[in-house]
Amino acid sequence: MPSTPVNVTSQCQRLSATPVTVNNRPERAVREDELIKPVKSAVSFKESGGGIFIESVADILEREVHTLIREWLTRVEKEPELMRIPLNYEERTGHLPRLIYDVNVRLRRNDDSKAAVSEAAADHGEMRHKQGYPVEMLIEESRLLQVSIFTTLHNNVKNVEFNTLLPNVVTIADEVDAQLREQMKHFKAADNAEKAKGK
């Protein structure tokens, strides 16, 4: 015997309008506007002064830049290959504020344009060559920068402007990769110049 189709909408409406009995006392029906609506509730909480301060990804990275650098350095210090070359704090981290600034400039442009040439990345590539880095260590440093940026955003997730989060993550990844290409370009140029002098 074929089953009778169930009108889910009407069933839900009937259930939501049905009085609930608790300890033999009738409770009022649940109204539609009391159903769980997390996005609306979150916005209302913010707008009612509930303490949530929503920020753009660029604002968070700007505010947390020193925490981000410490996060990066902590990760670097756990990598024996990176620590093989002795550098002081400024020598090891001095490039980061400029690279992070370039990331924020790209984020604030809020468009789909390609990454601009980063002078900070070019300088960093040349500096790491002078300091005796192999090119593989540049790649690892860049990877750890991305991880540190995303960790910083995760630690501030309650403040992130969610409607732009995913596009911003794509932009960050593209910008950091573009910076790495620029670093490697100038690292190799410095290496070729050094080899040419030795001939």
CA distances from 45 to 38, 158, 163 (A): 10, 12, 17
Considering only residues 37 and 83, tell me which one the structure prediction assigns the higher pLDDT: 83
Q: Which of 22-26, 30-34, 141-145 has the lowest mean pLDDT?
A: 30-34
In a domain, 41, yes or no: no
Residue 182 has pLDDT above 70, yes or no: yes
pLDDT score recorded for residue 128: 97
What is the pLDDT confidence band of residue 37, given thresholds at 50, 70 and 90?
very low
pLDDT score recorded for residue 126: 96
In a domain, 134, yes or no: yes
The verdict on pTM exceeding 0.75 is no
The 3-class secondary structure across 134-178, one letter per residue, is CHHHHHHHHHHHHHHHHHHHHHCHHHECHHHHHHHHHHHHHHHHH
Q: Which H or E element spans position 20?
A: strand 20-22
Residue 150 has pLDDT above 80, yes or no: yes
Residue 162 has pLDDT above 60, yes or no: yes
In a domain, 50, yes or no: no
Q: Which domain holds residue 146?
A: 57-198
Residue 20 has pLDDT above 60, yes or no: no
> In total, how many domains does the chain have?
1
Q: What is the pLDDT of residues 23-32, one digit of tens each?
A: 444 444 434 3
- CATH number, domain with residue 171: 1.10.490.10
In a domain, 140, yes or no: yes
Query: For residue 159, what are its two tokens?
Result: 């403040």
In a domain, 21, yes or no: no
The mean per-residue pLDDT over the stretch 85-114 comes to 92
What is the pLDDT confidence band of residue 199, given thresholds at 50, 70 and 90?
low
Average pLDDT, the chain: 81
Longest dimension (CA), the chain: 97
Query: For residue 94, what are its two tokens?
Result: 């001095």
In a domain, 26, yes or no: no
The mean per-residue pLDDT over the stretch 99-120 comes to 88
In a domain, 46, yes or no: no
In a domain, 183, yes or no: yes
